[in-house]
């Protein structure tokens, strides 16, 4: 029986690749990544410097994958991964990183630090060092099919409500549809207006789509906790659902990490390419706009801004689409400082919002978004991620701000031309 | 050992030892990275990663405005130090003569008084960098023995070169010998430390730029 530290070490060894070796060889300890990280800027705790968070991974790289480190470890000159280290770093890796990737954009030697932190999580969870809340969410995702424990009957109940409100049919398990839409549990439970928005937008645009009763959950706790095995299992369910319904496209919902997991990590964790294309809802809506199939009327004249979900914009490449869409329905759209690929995280991404232990820290780092919003003086913030949205709403509530957070798809649906 | 013998030693056997350790060490470190390689990415790229990767190799030299505003000292002192260091190494006429004799390549040098001034400015920038490392909470926290060692072995060639040129501290031949020895120490320390970033920075930026680029973002 191996010890947790040995299990972590073995998992780290599996993760280390050329990019990681080049990153760790290049770091000059300049400290500039600290200033890109909201966990540092809002607390000024140097332990939260992004590159410091990969210390367990660095130790294994040094002693196992460098000739000189290997030599030094023979003489006991290198530091190894210990249980104490993992215990301490669990707080840095899971509570103080949202995998937002901002550090990866500023590192002067070009280190993709967020990539390394994601990889470090693989070793942490292999040794059992992960927060309780995230473990529970992952357990529910595997056993029930949703991190929040949402089951098919709950979705069916929401579908009924939507059908009653819109007078439209919400397609479920329609074989041969072009698009299979996915949802996040958060949308089913807290923001069913998203389902309504899809139904109305697709009806008007004549999109052939369906939901799948066996694969409607898009979120992926496996990616957040850092287990590519679990991530792959959850991705495979979506692939199976899409194959069964023979769809050409799978739509990732207004959720950041679901898109990153499905679009960019998915094929790699299941080890094969998809038989369908993944499209983010914002990309699809923007395509419909370009084809003239998305007709809206009336513009909001109140000042509003857009919060970029990190995994969709910086790490996903969907940057201009939300802006083009928002300008269709707003006459007073203003950008936050650092908007776009350099935008600041809401503070609750990467599994932080599922980790109750991290809540005080999460609310502290919300100050970053607070000061961005105060500079603009807006009362409406549009976003495209259910997790950002609930997290922003919590932060706004906690700091007694007067800002309403709305989803982009539903904002568009509200302005659909008859 | 007389000053003449010392000079002959640092120019002869010691130079060969240092260059051998440097070349072999660097080769091992680079090969180690390439042997690890990168798994094929099975996700459908938004665009090819090659052009964005190359762009990041160059583009990352220019900090984004937010970074510049948050750590101006780091950026400015870092720039001055790097440019100054390479100017003195590559454009001081006696150095060019050395490169010519070893590599067979030659290029025009810069006026000696200019190199002299650059050396002073570079040493000053390095002192600022050290003070910043000792005082800034993040840098202080991150810094290890290796960081201070690298600072020292990089400073010594600049300092001893300046002293030798101005015939200060020791007789010229002794000081020149010390200068050459300090460069040899730098070469020997190089492959074992973060000085490796001189080479690996291109790989790191490439990997970063191409990974972000295929997802549609210029990093």
- Domains located in chain A, CATH noted: 4-130 (1.10.1060), 135-290 (3.40.50), 304-414 (no CATH)
Express each pLDDT in B165-175 by its tens digit. Answer: 999 999 999 99
Q: Supply the ipTM of this predicted assembly.
A: 0.95
pLDDT at res. A76: 87
Query: What confidence category does residue A231 fall into, taking pLDDT thresholds of 50, 70 and 90?
Result: very high
The DSSP string of A49-117 is: -GGGGGHHHHHHHHHHH-HHHHHHHHTT-S----HHHHHHHHIIIIIS-----HHHHH-TT---HHHHH
Q: Using the beta-carbon criterion (under 8 Å), do B71 and A40 form an inter-chain contact?
A: no
Express each pLDDT in A339-374 by its tens digit. Answer: 999 999 999 999 999 999 999 999 999 999 999 999
Average pLDDT, chain A: 96
Express each pLDDT in B147-156 by its tens digit. Answer: 999 999 999 9
Smallest CA-to-CA distance from A147 within A137, A155, A135 is with A137
Q: Which two tokens stand for residue B52?
A: 């964005």
Residue from A12, A15, A24, A30 whose CB has the most chain B CBs within 10 Å, to mutate: A30
User: What are A405's strand-pairing partners?
Assistant: A381
pLDDT at A270 over 90: yes
pLDDT at B186 over 90: yes
User: What are A383's strand-pairing partners?
Assistant: A307, A407
Q: Using the beta-carbon criterion (under 8 Å), do B78 and A66 form an inter-chain contact?
A: no
A124, A130 contact by CB (below 8 A) = yes
A395, A347 contact by CB (below 8 A) = yes
CA of B130: which chain A residue's CA is closest? A30
Distance from CA of A418 to the nearest CA of B (A): 34
Average pLDDT over residues B3-16: 94
Q: Chain A within 8 Å of B139 (Cβ-Cβ)?
A: yes
pLDDT at res. B1: 84
pLDDT at A188 over 80: yes
Distance from CA of A2 to the nearest CA of B (A): 25
pLDDT at A256 over 70: yes
Query: What confidence category does residue B65 fall into, taking pLDDT thresholds of 50, 70 and 90?
Result: confident
Q: Give the up-direction half-sphere exposure of residue A143: CA atoms within 13 A in the CB hemisphere.
A: 8
Express each pLDDT in A42-52 by its tens digit. Answer: 999 999 999 99
- What stretches of B62-195 show up as alpha helix (H) in DSSP? 65-70, 72-91, 93-103, 112-135, 137-142, 145-165, 172-189
pLDDT at A63 over 70: yes
CA of A53: which chain B residue's CA is closest? B142
3-state DSSP assignment of residue A380: strand
Chain A residue numbers with beta carbons less than 8 Å from the beta carbon of B70 are: 32, 35, 41
Q: Chain A within 8 Å of B89 (Cβ-Cβ)?
A: no
CA–CA distance, A387 with A152 (Å, rounded to integer): 21
pLDDT at res. A345: 97
Percent of chain A with pLDDT over 70: 100
User: What are A300's strand-pairing partners?
Assistant: A330
pLDDT at A401 over 70: yes
pLDDT at A126 over 80: yes
Chain A residue numbers with beta carbons less than 8 Å from the beta carbon of B44 are: 267, 273-274, 277-278
Distance from CA of B170 to the nearest CA of A (A): 34
Query: What confidence category does residue B64 fall into, taking pLDDT thresholds of 50, 70 and 90?
Result: confident
Q: Using the beta-carbon criterion (under 8 Å), do A32 and B74 form an inter-chain contact?
A: yes
Average pLDDT over residues B185-189: 98
The minimal CB distance from A109 to the residues B139, B204, B218 is found for: B204
Q: Chain A within 8 Å of B29 (Cβ-Cβ)?
A: yes
Average pLDDT over residues A54-81: 93
pLDDT at res. B71: 85
pLDDT at res. A295: 93
pLDDT at res. A1: 65
A348, A398 contact by CB (below 8 A) = no
Chain A residue numbers with beta carbons less than 8 Å from the beta carbon of B41 are: 268
CA of B138: which chain A residue's CA is closest? A46
pLDDT at res. A249: 98
CA–CA distance, A102 with A148 (Å, rounded to integer): 28
pLDDT at B85 over 90: yes
Average pLDDT over residues A321-338: 96
Structural domains for chain B: 3-37+46-214 (1.20.950.20)
pLDDT at B195 over 80: yes
Scan residues 146-175 of B and list those with Cβ closer than 8 Å to A: 147
Average pLDDT over residues B73-83: 94
Residue from A14, A26, A318 whose CB has the most chain B CBs within 10 Å, to mutate: A26
Average pLDDT over residues A400-405: 96
Average pLDDT over residues B159-183: 95
């Amino acid at each position: 029986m191996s010890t947790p530290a040995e299990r972590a070490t073995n998992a780290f060894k599996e993760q280390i690749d050329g990019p990681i070796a080049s990153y760790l060889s290049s770091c000059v300890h300049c400290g500039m990544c600290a200033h890109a990280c909201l966990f540092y800027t809002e607390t000024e705790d140097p332990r939260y410097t992004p590159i410091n968070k990969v210390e367990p991974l660095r130790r294994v790289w040094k002693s196992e994958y460098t000739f000189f480190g290997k030599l030094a470890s023979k003489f006991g000159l290198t530091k190894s991964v210990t249980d104490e280290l993992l215990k301490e770093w669990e707080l840095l890796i899971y509570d103080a990183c949202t995998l937002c990737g901002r550090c990866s954009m500023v590192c002067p030697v070009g280190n993709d630090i967020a990539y390394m932190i994601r990889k470090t999580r693989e070793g942490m969870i292999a040794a059992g060092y992960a927060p309780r809340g995230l473990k529970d969410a992952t357990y529910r995702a595997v056993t029930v099919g949703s991190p929040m424990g949402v089951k098919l009957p709950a979705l069916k109940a929401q579908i009924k409500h939507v059908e009653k409100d819109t007078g439209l049919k919400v397609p479920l398990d329609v074989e041969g549809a072009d698009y299979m839409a996915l949802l996040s549990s958060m949308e089913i439970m807290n923001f069913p207006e998203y389902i309504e928005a899809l139904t109305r937008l697709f009806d008007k645009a004549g999109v052939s789509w369906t939901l799948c009763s066996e694969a409607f959950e898009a979120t992926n706790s496996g990616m957040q906790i850092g287990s590519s095995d679990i991530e792959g299992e959850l991705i495979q369910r979506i692939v199976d659902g899409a194959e069964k319904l023979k769809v050409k496209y799978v739509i990732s919902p207004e959720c950041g990490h679901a898109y990153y997991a499905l679009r960019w990590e998915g094929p790699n964790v299941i080890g094969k390419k998809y038989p369908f294309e993944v499209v983010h809802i914002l990309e699809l809506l923007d395509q419909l706009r370009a084809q003239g199939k998305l007709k809206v009327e009336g513009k909001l004249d109140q000042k509003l801004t857009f919060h970029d979900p990190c995994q969709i914009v910086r790490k996903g490449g969907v940057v201009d689409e939300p802006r083009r869409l928002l300008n269709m329905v707003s006459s007073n759209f203003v950008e936050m400082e650092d908007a776009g690929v350099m935008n600041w995280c809401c503070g609750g991404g990467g599994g932080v919002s599922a980790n109750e232990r991290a809540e005080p820290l999460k609310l502290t780092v919300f100050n970053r978004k607070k000061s961005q919003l105060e500079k603009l003086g807006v009362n409406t913030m549009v976003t495209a991620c259910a997790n950002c949205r609930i997290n922003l709403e919590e932060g706004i509530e906690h700091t007694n701000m007067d800002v309403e957070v709305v989803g982009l798809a539903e904002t568009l649906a509200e302005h659909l031309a008859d | 050992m007389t000053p003449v013998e010392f000079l002959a030693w640092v120019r002869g056997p010691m130079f060969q030892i240092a260059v051998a350790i440097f070349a072999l060490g660097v080769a091992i470190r680079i090969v180690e990275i390439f042997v690890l390689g990168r798994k094929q990415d099975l996700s459908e790229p938004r665009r090819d990663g090659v052009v964005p990767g190359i762009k990041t190799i160059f583009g990352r030299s220019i900090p984004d405005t937010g970074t510049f505003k948050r750590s101006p000292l780091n950026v400015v002192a870092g720039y001055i130090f790097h440019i100054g260091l390479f100017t003195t190494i590559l454009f001081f006429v006696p150095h060019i003569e050395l490169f010519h004799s070893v590599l067979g390549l030659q290029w025009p040098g810069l006026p000696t008084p200019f190199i002299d001034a650059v050396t002073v400015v570079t040493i000053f920038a390095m002192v600022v960098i050290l003070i910043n490392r000792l005082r800034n909470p993040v840098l202080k926290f991150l810094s290890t023995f290796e960081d201070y060692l690298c600072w020292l072995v990089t400073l010594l060639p600049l300092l001893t070169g300046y002293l030798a040129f101005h015939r200060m501290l020791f007789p010229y031949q002794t000081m020149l010998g010390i200068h050459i020895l300090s460069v040899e120490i730098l070469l020997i320390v190089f492959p074992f430390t973060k000085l490796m970033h001189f080479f690996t920075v291109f790989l790191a930026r490439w990997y970063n730029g191409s990974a972000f680029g295929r997802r549609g973002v210029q990093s």
